[in-house]
Structure 1
């Protein structure tokens, strides 16, 4: 019978014994438990990955183009005018 999934914050990690020994030794040197040592290293990297994914980076040329379009938007074409009158919402 399958067990019901309960989110308890627990994560299992399978390591080679030699890798676990290295992590445990480093944690001991830092006077941290293994979980704290791993989280201290991994969480900042995870946040960086998320930030990089969620941040749009433009070249200087593209940035200037966007600013110019915001300051001087092109005239609406017929299709856009019809969509606006029809109450069409872009998603």
Structure 2
């Protein structure tokens, strides 16, 4: 039977990421990690992953007010785009 420790509950981490930081940066990270009860590594990994998701979502999702949306649609309608036309006229796989 496996021991019931925090280390045994962690998923395997197969890769290492090394970064060099200044003393003040490390101290800041350590204080923040301690404030939320996490290790430095866990804090850095969770924060970096959250920021990475935000960056990627910002490239896929954008919100427009009604006026900007209408301008966007008008631009799409007046700009020839064969790939977009094919996408919009292709039947969805579930139909």
TM-score after normalising by structure 1 = 0.49
TM-score after normalising by structure 2 = 0.48
Q: Computing the radius of gyration over CA atoms, which structure comes out larger, 1 or 2?
A: 1
